Amino acid sequence: MDNPSSPAEPARFLFATCQVGAEETLKHELARRRPDFRLAFSRPGFLTFKLPEGHRLPDDFRLRAIFARSHGFSLGKVTGATPEELAAETWRLWGDHPIHRIHVWSRDVAVPGHRGYEPGMTPEALAARAAIRQVCPIAQQLAPNEEDPEVPAKQGDWILDCVLVEPNEWWIGWHRARSAASRWPGGMMPLVLPEHAVSRAWLKMEEALRWSRLPLAAGAQVAEIGSAPGGASQALLDRGCFVTGIDPAEMDPAVLAHPNFRHLRRRAVQVQRREFRKIRWLAADMNVAPAYTLDVVEAVVSHPHVRIRGLLLTLKLFEWEMADALPEHLDRVRRWGYQVVRARQLLHNRQEICVAALRSAASGRTGRRGERPVQ
Ligand SMILES: C[S@@+](CC[C@H](N)C(=O)[O-])C[C@H]1O[C@@H](n2cnc3c(N)ncnc32)[C@H](O)[C@@H]1O
């Protein structure tokens, strides 16, 4: 199980999943960054691309596309009338690929928030997973804790991917676990909104922290611009951070009552720079255009007496076309002195993305393991 050999044939297709509505944006992103990948198949929330002949993409290839929630090499689709038939076809297609884990999930079927729709694990995906597992001919190769939904894949694990594109049409592929998101089915970390959370922004912040792996530890001094009503601040408070919320709107009384929270009830431009002297981490989640969010953040981070080590910014895309400017926006953040800048449309993002940035490459990068937490 430890050193399974690579598939003999290089993969010919890549699959990617995304939020419903983000397909065109993802296609544009890939046309810009990987013009040698050709779109092959497209459904809402699910795309495949033909890879160039003779490509030398590594087994653990990372697409690094902002709008791809998950991706892997595609083996093609299986069709059948029942989950049992589809499961049998899955293993026929799988052949003798190495395997440690099975990830099964449904493509998104609606825009997040539309009539209460939330992307995530579905009963159909769990049933399909059980059917595939039931007839797995190489079960001895699977990791011992493979069936525990709370346990993510280990880095380097070989994963069978099965995306339920239609009830009778599953797309099969594989990837090797590497990034934090790639260790979970469909790149979806299983987060549950806690009862005390005052808004679903709690999920957004928690996912952003886990995805970015910013070294932001208990005791860290964090400011959030656009903090009301306070779900995201609560996620930070739950981790033991000290949080300064900046927002002209009202914070929820439960957040205001927290001993480690202080509210500056005003717009960001009205906040004196000295208020940021102790702050080392800055989050922003304003319902304004990306350029305005960046103007506000730049005014803080470029001040000579302010030392912000890392950023977690939500950039709202009121129109999908606003994504075209993202490369420039990310370059702008780099020019402020943040060497590591990454962006992703998180599972809990609506029509928006998350940008994570870290100033000092010397003291670690977002995503590096074993790094010393910094306050
Ligand atoms: C999406 S909500 C923030 C949600 C919040 N992060 C939470 O966890 O509940 C956007 C907020 O941005 C605030 N906002 C908009 N412009 C702002 C500005 N210039 N300065 C500070 N806050 C601003 C709004 O008042 C609004 O409360």
Angle at alpha carbon of residue 204, lines to 366 and 302, rounded to 5°: 55
Tell me which H or E stretch contains 333.
Answer: helix 326-335
Model pLDDT, residue 365? 40
> Looking at the structure, do residues 205 and 236 belong to the same domain, yes or no?
yes
Strands 158-166 and 101-106: parallel
Residue 153 lies in a domain: yes
Is the shortest distance between the CB of 248 and ligand 1 below 6 Å? yes
Residue 194 lies in a domain: no
Is the shortest distance between the CB of 285 and ligand 1 below 6 Å? yes
Model pLDDT, residue 8? 60
Residue 369 lies in a domain: no
Is the shortest distance between the CB of 29 and ligand 1 below 6 Å? no
pLDDT in tens, 61-98: 999 999 999 999 999 999 999 999 999 999 999 998 99
> Looking at the structure, do residues 181 and 207 belong to the same domain, yes or no?
no
> Looking at the structure, do residues 224 and 153 belong to the same domain, yes or no?
no
> Looking at the structure, do residues 231 and 346 belong to the same domain, yes or no?
yes
> Looking at the structure, do residues 158 and 211 belong to the same domain, yes or no?
no
Of the pLDDT bands very low, low, confident and very high (cuts 50, 70, 90), residue 7 is low
DSSP 107-156: PP-S-TTGGG---S--HHHHHHHHHHHHT-TTGGGS-TTTT-TTSPPPTT
pLDDT of 136 above 70 = yes
Of the pLDDT bands very low, low, confident and very high (cuts 50, 70, 90), residue 6 is low
Is the shortest distance between the CB of 226 and ligand 1 below 6 Å? yes
**Structural domain of residue 37, as residue ranges?**
13-187
> Looking at the structure, do residues 270 and 158 belong to the same domain, yes or no?
no
pLDDT of 206 above 70 = yes
Residue 103 lies in a domain: yes
Is the shortest distance between the CB of 249 and ligand 1 below 6 Å? yes
> Looking at the structure, do residues 108 and 237 belong to the same domain, yes or no?
no
Of the pLDDT bands very low, low, confident and very high (cuts 50, 70, 90), residue 363 is very low
Distance 243 CA to ligand 1 centre (A): 15
Tell me which H or E stretch contains 313.
Answer: strand 310-316
Residue 227 lies in a domain: yes
Residue 47 lies in a domain: yes
Model pLDDT, residue 9? 73
Nearest ligand 1 atom, CA 204: 8
CB 47 within 8 A of CB 15: yes
- Residue where one domain finishes, among candidates 158, 187, 216: 187
Number of domains in the chain: 2
Distance 295 CA to ligand 1 centre (A): 15
Backbone angles phi, psi at 335, to 5 degrees: -65, -20
Nearest ligand 1 atom, CA 234: 8
CATH number reported for the structural domain that contains residue 334 in this entry = 3.40.50.150
Is the shortest distance between the CB of 245 and ligand 1 below 6 Å? no
Residue 58 lies in a domain: yes
Using the Cα atoms of residue 286, residue 287, residue 291 and residue 296 in order, give the sign of their dihedral. Answer: negative
Is the shortest distance between the CB of 266 and ligand 1 below 6 Å? no
pLDDT of 373 above 50 = no
> Looking at the structure, do residues 163 and 215 belong to the same domain, yes or no?
no
pLDDT of 2 above 90 = no
Buried b (16+ CB within 10 A) or exposed e, 334-358: eebebebbbbbbbbbbbbbbbbbbb
pLDDT in tens, 298-352: 999 999 999 999 999 999 999 999 999 999 999 999 999 999 999 999 999 999 9
Distance 245 CA to ligand 1 centre (A): 9
> Looking at the structure, do residues 177 and 149 belong to the same domain, yes or no?
yes
pLDDT of 370 above 70 = no
Residue 196 lies in a domain: no
CATH number reported for the structural domain that contains residue 42 in this entry = 3.30.2130.30
Distance 212 CA to ligand 1 centre (A): 22
- Residue where one domain finishes, among candidates 187, 218, 245: 187
Is the shortest distance between the CB of 286 and ligand 1 below 6 Å? yes
Query: Which of 146-160, 165-179, 181-195, 354-368 is predicted with the least confidence, judged by mean pLDDT?
Result: 354-368
Distance 21 CA to ligand 1 centre (A): 24
> Looking at the structure, do residues 20 and 86 belong to the same domain, yes or no?
yes
- Residue where one domain finishes, among candidates 187, 213, 229: 187
Nearest ligand 1 atom, CA 232: 8
Distance 294 CA to ligand 1 centre (A): 14
Nearest ligand 1 atom, CA 233: 8
Is the shortest distance between the CB of 157 and ligand 1 below 6 Å? no
> Looking at the structure, do residues 228 and 263 belong to the same domain, yes or no?
yes
> Looking at the structure, do residues 124 and 88 belong to the same domain, yes or no?
yes
